[in-house]
Amino acid sequence: MRRLHLSFVLFATLGIGALFSGCATTGSVADENAPPPPIVHDMSLEAALDAGIQHGGDTLARVKRLISRRKEWRPATTILASRVVAGMSRMEDRQLINAMNLYQGSPESASVDLFNKLVGSARPLARQLGWQMAATMPSRSIGQAVEKELSRALIEGDETDTLVPEMALAVRANRLTKSYTMLRQGLLRTGHEAFAAAMAELDPAAASNDFMDYLALAPVEELRQLTLNSVNLYSCMIALKHLLGRPVSVSHPQVEHLYYYSVSRNPALAELAMQVIEQYPASDRATLAWTLARMPVWLQLSYIENVRRKTTASTGLFLAELRRITSQPEVVEEIDDVRQ
């Protein structure tokens, strides 16, 4: 069940599922027009695998069912691994994708040798499929191979080809907490939500501080627009939701950015940031008020306007503290108006 769930996440998040079905019908005109052979019980395993690799789609699904009925997954994975390795550089994209789709349908353990050859390939698609295999077929041996590959990438300075979303999913699926640093690096470099989700799951405490650093990458001017370019919206959502349960320390050097998010033009980000700020305990109220009081007047006024829409006992006490601290008469006037 866990393998099926991870496979769904991979396909839904990264679009690989569409690639499997869509690419199965690409290729030469002759390939598209040639009818697939019937998948019958007495056909040879090799012929069935050839049909699945060539035609994909419904044919591939029928081949999987045939292999399951005949309980031939062990020899099937051996044959598939051999064909993938032999044809890694010359297979058409659709053929390589279909072959790995078949391979990942097996209940057998994934081959470490196949993983190493895929992620070590010069072909980007092969590397992608190797990380995907490690995510959908996790095991102790695959986890060790993933860690070894990440160590190699760090030593050789080869992070660019390694910091891909599929790698983050592989690290997460194999519970590789020691590889958290690579996830953080991936988030800061690419912004992809797969890294954020893996960080939150594998090291929740460290993720709070690192998420605050990531959120701070968005310029104030950008947060006041409808389009984000410096950060990934979905990663920001993951980060803010994480901070709801594990708030960052109010002494964090970037904590002021929570206020910038609270007045974002994106209503989902603004609402989440407001919730993060409001859930801090009373012992942190004075520090948070001091943080806001030294920020631009326009931001203080915007934040107070947001509070006006949903005033609670907690926000009322916070505004009283801000009124006591702020040196801006406009802010005092606005607070008084809200508290009437």
pLDDT in tens, 316-334: 899 999 999 999 999 999 9
Final residue before a domain boundary, out of 108, 132, 160: 108
Whether residues 3 and 78 share a domain: the answer is yes
Cα angle value 194/200/206 (rounded, 5°) = 125
Distance (Å, whole) CA 119 – CA 130? 5
Contacts with 216 (C-beta within 8 Å, 6 or more apart), sequence order: 254, 257
Domain count, the chain: 4
CB 32 within 8 A of CB 25: yes
Provide mean pLDDT across the span 244-254. Answer: 96
Whether residues 208 and 196 share a domain: the answer is no
Q: How far is CA 295 from CA 152, 186, 271, 308, 331, in A?
A: 45, 31, 20, 19, 11
pLDDT band, residue 10 (cuts 50/70/90): low
Contacts with 32 (C-beta within 8 Å, 6 or more apart), sequence order: 25, 26
Whether residues 82 and 12 share a domain: the answer is yes
Q: How far is CA 239 from CA 139, 177, 212, 269, 283, in A?
A: 28, 18, 8, 10, 23
How far is Cα of residue 115 from the mean position of the Cα atoms in its chain? 21
The DSSP letter of residue 110 is: P
Provide mean pLDDT across the span 91-101. Answer: 97
pLDDT tens-digit series, residues 30-49:
355 678 999 999 999 999 99
Provide mean pLDDT across the span 229-258. Answer: 97
Give domain status of residue 113, yes or no: no
Cα angle value 328/322/325 (rounded, 5°) = 65
Whether residues 93 and 17 share a domain: the answer is yes
Whether residues 179 and 242 share a domain: the answer is no
3-state SS, one letter per residue, for 140-200:
HHHHHHHHHHHHHHHHHCCHHHHCCHHHHHHHHHCCCHHHHHHHHHHHHHHCCHHHHHHHH
Give domain status of residue 296, yes or no: yes
pLDDT at 25: 35
Give domain status of residue 188, yes or no: yes
Whether residues 22 and 100 share a domain: the answer is yes
Give domain status of residue 235, yes or no: yes
pLDDT tens-digit series, residues 109-164:
999 999 999 999 999 999 999 999 999 999 999 999 999 999 999 999 888 889 99
Whether residues 168 and 180 share a domain: the answer is yes
Whether residues 103 and 51 share a domain: the answer is yes
Structure tokens of 158? 């080869």
Burial group, residue 44, by CB count within 10 angstroms (0-12, 13-18, 19+): exposed
Give domain status of residue 298, yes or no: yes
Q: Give the CA diameter of the chain.
A: 86
CB 67 within 8 A of CB 48: yes
Whether residues 167 and 101 share a domain: the answer is no
Final residue before a domain boundary, out of 153, 187, 202: 202
Q: Which residue segment(s) compose the domain that 44 sits in?
A: 1-108
CB 200 within 8 A of CB 242: yes
CA-nearest of 54, 46, 49 to 27 is 54
Whether residues 184 and 227 share a domain: the answer is no
Provide mean pLDDT across the span 100-106. Answer: 97
Distance (Å, whole) CA 322 – CA 303? 11
Give domain status of residue 115, yes or no: no
**What is the amino acid identity at position 302?**
S
Whether residues 97 and 135 share a domain: the answer is no
- Which tops the pLDDT comparison, 18 or 164? 164
Whether residues 156 and 223 share a domain: the answer is no
CB 288 within 8 A of CB 300: no
Final residue before a domain boundary, out of 81, 108, 135: 108
Dihedral of the CA atoms 142, 145, 150, 156 (nearest 10)?
Answer: -160
Provide the 3-class DSSP secondary structure of residue 54: helix
Give domain status of residue 75, yes or no: yes
Give domain status of residue 208, yes or no: yes
